[in-house]
């Protein structure tokens, strides 16, 4: 397998073992566990691996256990994967067809009597599933979000074990073990079911790119892919390793993004695009972390606050200019090395964009012009003096004189 064909180079060994496990004819009699932290990209890895297996004519049933509270819900989810038409809402109108067909196909206990219903004198509807839907060596079961299942963990593992032990079905279980409260019973069930455990190595840039691949705006997608190292740096600085939250923020940015907002006289301004993308991600993800007090860039106030300007030293005055008026705001600004004015838009507009989901292009264009584009058109004296190294003595003297007059 060449590197070009690998899903994730750091997790090459996992992919190679899964190929060995799923492609062979051996009856392993154990499941494989893939463990990884939330937001590490392990679910994305699994779904990419499923695509590869389907391309090999494997039949894959991918089941998310998130929020499931009854084994019957897992039965139904498996049936939907095996036969999406019969598993649809329309098919449910036929009542016992779904349940009966699943009994006939999987021979599992649907009545809660701890006996496989296939061995009981139950009435099974006369449904003959096509050969390509029947379970054989080409069938793979994948259970994701084990730690988020609302069933007792031991019950879930016992349920999964039926497929491995009684039906010789090859099973991959995906979880975040750090979120599972271990007990003696859990460890016994796990030891019985799991034969091999892998820890997924975070492949951050690949995970970020996978989010961009879901965007509809191709032009924006290309711009974001070109700035992945820059985005990864921001993501790490924020310290909120939640890929689902990141995906939501990127989708929100796609909705916010209008190309001509970032153009000046027909030219796309890459600098301001990257700045606004940076601030958008910081504010959006910090907001999801619960950093702000109801509104974007609104911080927790100190219990004791002194507003007498004459009692403040120079450092305190500089903090005020940076938008720092509390310990909470100081911690935030220092974390990113920013001042309030660096965020381009006012807190009110940011709050509309991120909290209220209002994208008022007129407001956005006006504030962007005042904070950025106007300086390109009407460079003030102080702005010109910032490039003093490139000025002649005469130009420098003239600007100094003009600055004094303006003051």
Rounded alpha-carbon distances, angstroms, from residue 364 to 212, 266, 347, 348, 351: 24, 18, 12, 11, 12
Confidence (pLDDT) at 305: 61
Contact, 41 vs 50, CB < 8 A? no
Confidence (pLDDT) at 110: 41
Round to the nearest angstrom and report the end-to-end CA distance of the chain: 69
Nearest to 190, CA basis, from 153, 152, 165, 238: 153
The structure tokens listed for 31 are 């499941």
Distance between CA atoms of 91 and 98, rounded to whole angstroms? 8
Distance between CA atoms of 107 and 158, rounded to whole angstroms? 16
Confidence (pLDDT) at 112: 45
Confidence (pLDDT) at 129: 39
Q: What is the dihedral sign for C-alpha 222, 226, 227, 228?
A: positive
Confidence (pLDDT) at 106: 52
Q: What is the dihedral sign for C-alpha 207, 210, 214, 220?
A: positive
| 35 SS3 class | strand
The structure tokens listed for 144 are 């994701």
What residues are paired with 64 via a beta bridge?
Answer: 144
Q: What percent of the chain is helix, strand and coil (3-state, nearest 5)? A: 55, 10, 35
Confidence (pLDDT) at 339: 93
- Residue 10 makes CB contacts below 8 A (sequence gap 6+) with 201, 202, 203
Contact, 25 vs 191, CB < 8 A? no
Rounded alpha-carbon distances, angstroms, from residue 6 to 11, 92, 199, 228: 9, 40, 17, 20
Count the Cβ atoms, other than its own, within 10 Å of residue 320: 13
Contact, 261 vs 361, CB < 8 A? yes
Nearest to 203, CA basis, from 37, 27, 344, 342: 37
Instruction: Please list the pLDDT of the chain residue by residue as tens digits (407 residues).
Output: 566 688 888 899 999 999 999 987 788 889 999 998 876 778 888 999 999 999 988 888 899 999 998 888 888 888 777 765 444 444 443 444 445 555 555 554 444 445 544 433 333 333 333 444 455 667 889 999 998 899 888 889 988 988 888 888 899 999 988 778 777 777 888 888 999 999 998 888 888 888 998 999 999 999 999 999 999 999 999 988 777 889 999 999 999 999 999 998 889 999 999 999 999 999 999 999 999 988 999 999 887 765 555 555 677 777 888 888 899 999 999 999 999 999 999 999 999 999 999 999 999 999 999 888 887 766 667 767 777 777 788 878 887 887 788 77
Q: Give the DSSP per-residue string, 258-308.
A: -GGGGEETTEE-HHHHHHHHHHHHHHHHHHHHT-SSSSTT--PPPSS----
- Residue 243 makes CB contacts below 8 A (sequence gap 6+) with 38, 39, 40, 41, 44, 207, 211
Confidence (pLDDT) at 119: 39
Confidence (pLDDT) at 92: 42
């Amino acid at each position: 397998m060449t590197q070009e064909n690998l899903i994730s180079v750091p997790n090459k060994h996992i992919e190679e073992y899964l190929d060995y496990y799923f492609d062979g004819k051996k009856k392993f009699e154990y499941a494989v566990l893939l463990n990884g932290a939330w937001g590490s990209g392990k679910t994305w890895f699994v779904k990419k691996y499923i695509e590869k297996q389907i391309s090999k004519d494997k039949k894959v049933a991918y089941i998310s256990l998130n929020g499931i509270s009854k084994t019957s819900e897992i039965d139904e989810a498996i049936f939907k994967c095996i036969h999406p038409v019969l598993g649809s809402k329309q098919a449910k109108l036929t009542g016992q067809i779904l349940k009966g067909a699943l009994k006939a196909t999987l021979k599992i206990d649907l009545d809660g009597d701890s006996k496989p219903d296939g061995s009981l004198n139950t009435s099974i509807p006369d449904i003959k599933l096509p050969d390509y839907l029947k379970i054989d060596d080409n069938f793979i079961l994948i259970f994701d979000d084990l730690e988020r299942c609302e069933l007792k963990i031991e019950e879930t593992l016992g349920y999964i074990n039926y497929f491995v032990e009684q039906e010789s079905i090859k099973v991959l279980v995906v979880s975040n073990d750090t979120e599972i409260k271990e007990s003696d019973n859990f460890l016994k069930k796990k030891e019985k079911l799991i034969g091999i455990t892998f820890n997924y190595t975070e492949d951050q840039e690949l995970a970020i790119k996978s989010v961009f691949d879901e965007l509809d705006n191709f032009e924006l997608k290309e711009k974001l892919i070109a700035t992945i190292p820059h985005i990864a740096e921001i993501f790490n600085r924020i310290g909120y390793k939640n890929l689902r939250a990141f995906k939501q923020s990127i989708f929100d940015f796609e909705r916010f993004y209008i190309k001509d907002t970032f153009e000046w006289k027909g030219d796309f301004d890459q600098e301001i695009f990257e700045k606004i993308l940076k601030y958008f991600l910081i504010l959006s993800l910090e907001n999801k972390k619960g950093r702000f007090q109801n509104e974007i860039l609104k911080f927790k106030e100190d219990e004791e606050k002194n507003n007498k300007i004459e009692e403040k030293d120079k450092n305190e005055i500089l903090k005020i200019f940076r938008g720092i008026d509390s310990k909470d705001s100081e911690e935030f600004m220092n974390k990113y090395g920013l001042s309030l004015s660096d965020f381009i838009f006012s807190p009110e507009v940011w709050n509309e964009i991120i909290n209220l989901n209002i994208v008022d292009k007129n407001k956005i264009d006006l504030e962007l012009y005042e904070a950025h584009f106007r300086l390109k058109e009407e460079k003030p004296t102080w702005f010109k003096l910032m490039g003093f190294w490139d000025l002649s003595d005469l130009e420098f003297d003239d600007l100094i004189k003009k600055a004094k007059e303006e003051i």
